[in-house]
Structure 1
Amino acid sequence: MATSYNIDAKLDETLEQLKLHLGASSKAEVLRKAVALLNVATRHENADGSVTILQQNSSDKPNETKVILR
């Protein structure tokens, strides 16, 4: 089933950049990956509707980024 959406210039540019970064074959592939990632994130969200991304660095404490989903 084909569905079309209106995408503004800013989102289109973001999708294009992600397409190049991921080596995706299309912007639709980028959107499929984004939905899959959001699906995983929502299954592991905190009680406040957030997820925390940890990035290990050279120091003892990892960098934390909190993303609010709801």
Structure 2
Amino acid sequence: MRSAAELVIAALKRGKTNAEALAAAKRVHPHTNMSLPTINWYRNRLRAEGAKVPTEREARRKSSKKAF
């Protein structure tokens, strides 16, 4: 089973929003203590390491376009 952190990182790399990444982690690990600031920390760390991860704003914009 993948850890909550691994699930969050994978979701962020797929372009998910912070809320979507947190929901993915909580589906598998319902008792995790992760919060939206934690997810944002992972996003910023990945971006600092050079990963092709969109900003939260870009992810939300892309997610809202899919809804239409």
Normalised by the length of structure 2, the TM-score is 0.32
| Higher relative contact order (CA closer than 8 Å, sequence separation 6+) | 2
Bigger helix share:
2
Higher strand proportion: 1
Rg larger in 1 or in 2?
A: 1
